[in-house]
């Protein structure tokens, strides 16, 4: 069977985690996590913004496996400040290096430059990474249902809650959504990009939104480029969005963010 991009990412990520554990013990990471800055409420920031407009998780993203380098002029702190000034509710910061040219330090720098809560955007498989996320001052972690078992997902979520963080549960098809419903987090991210093929279609949110129950908060992710895209997704119940590439490619990130969030469809 041909390995997918997600399979390849998982293989090197597990090796990375093992190496990290040798380089720094869990007890040392947990000590750093306890000394980290207080958690900023991630889910609350999104739901509050969604009452009057849209909640935006603005992504600090240098590159991707499918598109390569997205932004050469890349300074996490400056970009984070531009997002905040443009009206973003939260940050998402890529910390994966091999596929996204991210770095753990990018998260530290971006969050320190703003008052926004920040998501550690990475491929999470081990609770060691959750403690590490808190040590990096993350306020939320990502749990990708396509890449973890139900047991792993539950362990990651429980660890996030123990550290006072939120968890964004990411799905891209019906079976993954059904599995996500066994978890406690209200934040359900529907990724319009299939992480196994990297094909993108907004039909993913259109279809899965019908199956997201009341009491869960729908976040549409990927493939969103214009105010019309956001209005379209809002008509299917998405009041928050995770957007990176389309904003990262703009010369003036602050103005591009303002323009994208202007004139929201009211709930």
Token pair for 37: 């800055």
Q: Say whether pTM exceeds 0.75.
A: yes
Between CA 54 and CA 220 the distance in angstroms is 11
Q: What is the pLDDT of residues 18-54, one digit of tens each?
A: 999 999 999 999 999 999 999 999 999 999 999 989 9
pLDDT band per the 50, 70, 90 thresholds, residue 267: low
pLDDT band per the 50, 70, 90 thresholds, residue 66: confident
Query: Percentage of the chain surpassing pLDDT 90?
Result: 92
**Residue 4: what pLDDT?**
87
The domain spans of the chain are 5-261
Token pair for 252: 């003036």
* Count of CA atoms in the C-beta half-sphere (13 A) of 238: 30
Residue 266 scores a pLDDT above 90:
no
Only one residue has tokens 């849209």, namely: 54
**Residue 1: what pLDDT?**
64
In total, the chain counts a number of residues equal to 267
pLDDT band per the 50, 70, 90 thresholds, residue 100: very high
Q: What is the pLDDT of residues 157-212, one digit of tens each?
A: 999 999 999 999 999 999 999 999 999 999 999 999 987 777 899 999 999 999 99
Residue 3 scores a pLDDT above 70:
yes
Which backbone phi and psi does 213 adopt, to 5 degrees?
A: -75, 165
Higher pLDDT, 198 or 71: 71
Token pair for 3: 């390995």
- Taking CB atoms within 8 Å and a gap of at least 24, the contacts of 27-35 are 29/128, 29/131, 29/132, 29/135, 30/131, 30/135, 32/135, 33/131, 33/132, 33/134, 33/135, 33/163
User: Which whole number is the average pLDDT over 45-65?
Assistant: 95
Q: How far is CA 125 from the centre of its chain?
A: 15
Q: What is the pLDDT of residues 213-264, one digit of tens each?
A: 999 999 999 999 999 999 999 999 999 999 999 999 999 999 999 999 998 9
Higher pLDDT, 65 or 111: 111
Contact status, residue 213 vs residue 181, Cβ threshold 8 Å = yes
**Residue 12: what pLDDT?**
97
CA-nearest of 230, 237, 218 to 257 is: 230
Please list, in sequence order, all residues whose beta carbon lies within 8 angstroms of the beta carbon of residue 72, skipping any fewer than 6 positions away.
none
Between CA 267 and CA 263 the distance in angstroms is 12
Contact status, residue 47 vs residue 217, Cβ threshold 8 Å = yes
What ranges make up the beta strands (E) of 41-194? 55-60, 63-64, 68-69, 90-94, 118-121, 140-144, 166-171, 187-191
CA-nearest of 99, 62, 101, 58 to 80 is: 58
pLDDT band per the 50, 70, 90 thresholds, residue 65: confident
Query: Percentage of the chain surpassing pLDDT 70?
Result: 99
What is the overall mean pLDDT for the chain?
A: 96
pLDDT band per the 50, 70, 90 thresholds, residue 5: confident
* Domain 5-261 class in CATH: alpha beta
């Amino acid at each position: 069977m041909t390995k997918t991009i997600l399979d390849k990412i998982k293989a090197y990520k597990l090796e990375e985690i093992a190496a990290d554990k040798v380089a720094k013990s869990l007890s040392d990471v947990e000590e750093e996590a306890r000394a980290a800055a207080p958690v900023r409420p991630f889910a609350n920031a999104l739901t509050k913004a969604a009452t009057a407009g849209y909640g935006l998780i603005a992504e600090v993203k240098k590159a991707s496996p499918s598109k390569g380098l997205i932004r050469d002029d890349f300074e996490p702190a400056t970009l984070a400040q531009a997002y905040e000034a443009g009206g973003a509710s939260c940050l998402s910061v890529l910390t994966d290096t091999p596929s996204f040219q991210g770095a753990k330090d990018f998260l530290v720098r971006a969050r320190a430059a703003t008052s926004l809560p920040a998501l550690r955007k990475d491929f999470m498989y081990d609770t060691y990474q959750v403690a590490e996320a808190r040590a990096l001052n993350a306020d939320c972690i990502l749990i990708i249902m396509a890449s973890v078992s139900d047991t792993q997902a539950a362990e990651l979520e429980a660890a996030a809650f123990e550290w006072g963080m939120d968890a964004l549960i990411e799905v891209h098809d019906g079976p993954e959504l059904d599995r996500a419903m066994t978890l406690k987090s209200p934040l359900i991210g529907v990724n319009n990009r299939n992480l196994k093929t990297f094909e993108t279609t907004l039909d993913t949110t259109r279809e899965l939104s019908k199956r997201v129950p009341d009491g869960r908060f729908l976040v549409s992710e990927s493939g969103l480029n214009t105010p019309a895209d956001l209005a379209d997704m809002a008509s299917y119940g998405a009041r928050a969005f995770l957007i990176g590439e389309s904003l990262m490619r703009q010369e003036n990130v602050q103005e591009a963010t303002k323009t994208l969030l202007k004139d929201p469809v009211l709930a």
